[in-house]
């Protein structure tokens, strides 16, 4: 859960997740949505991958990223547990 909180603690990464909510995107398409270099976006995608918030699949020369929200269930549970004191 640590990695998920860490991954979520960045505006750019949260926006990447929001983009991927609409549809799967290549690394390049994601990078074009930001005023940040491609290597930096690649690094953000790596952090999101480590947290399992995204999955990726290589298709030819492209790498397609997809949103994976299942790990957010733990976060939800943690928050709910905190609220129903």
Partner DNA sequence: ATTATATTTAGATATTTACCTAAATACCTA
Partner DNA sequence: TAGGTATTTAGGTAAATATCTAAATATAAT
* Among 14-22, 60-68, 74-82, the segment contacting DNA (CB under 7 A): 60-68
Stretch that binds a copy of itself, among 12-20, 28-36, 44-52, 55-63 (CB under 8 A): 12-20
Task: Specify which residues 62 forms β-bridges with.
Answer: 59
Q: Provide the angle, in degrees to the nearest 10, between the axes of the packed helices 38-50 and 11-22.
A: 80
Nearer to a copy of itself, 35 or 80 (CB): 80
Q: Is 57 helix (H, G, I), strand (E, B) or coil?
A: strand
Contact 68, 52 (CB under 8 A): yes
Six-digit token string for 17: 């997740």
Return residues touching a copy of itself (CB under 8 A).
2, 5-6, 8-9, 11, 14, 17-18, 21-22, 67, 69, 72, 75-76, 78-79, 81-83, 85
């Amino acid at each position: 859960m640590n990695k998920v909180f860490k991954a979520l603690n960045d505006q750019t990464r949260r926006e990447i997740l929001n983009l991927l909510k609409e549809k799967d995107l290549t690394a390049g398409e994601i990078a074009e949505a930001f005023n940040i270099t491609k290597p930096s976006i690649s690094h953000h995608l790596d952090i999101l991958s480590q947290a399992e918030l995204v999955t990726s699949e290589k298709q030819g020369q492209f790498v397609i990223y997809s949103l994976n929200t299942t790990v957010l269930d733990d976060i939800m549970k943690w928050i709910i547990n905190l609220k129903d004191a």
